[in-house]
Amino acid sequence: MLRFRVIPIVLLDGYSVVKTIRYNVRRNLGNPITVARIYNSRHVDELILLDIDASKENRKIDIFTIENIASECFMPLTVGGGLRSCDDIADALAHGADKISLNTIIFENISILREAVKIFGSQCIVASLDVQRDVNNNYCLYSHSGAKNTMSLTECLKILNEFEVGELLVNSVDHDGTMTGYDYPLISFVSGLTNIPIILAGGASSPDDCVRAIQCGASAVAAASIFHFTSITPLTCKQSMDKAHIPVRL
Quote the DSSP letter at residue 122: G
Specify the DSSP element, H or E, that contains 141: strand 139-142
Closest CA to 175 of 166, 164, 162, 184: 184
Start-to-end CA span in the chain (Å): 14
Catalytic residue among 88, 130, 176, 183: 130
Q: Which residues contact 34 (CB under 8 A, 6 or more apart)?
A: none
Is 130 among the residues known to form the active site? yes
- Quick one: 218 exposed, middle or buried, by C-beta within 10 A (0-12, 13-18, 19+)? buried
The residues annotated with a catalytic role in the active site are 130
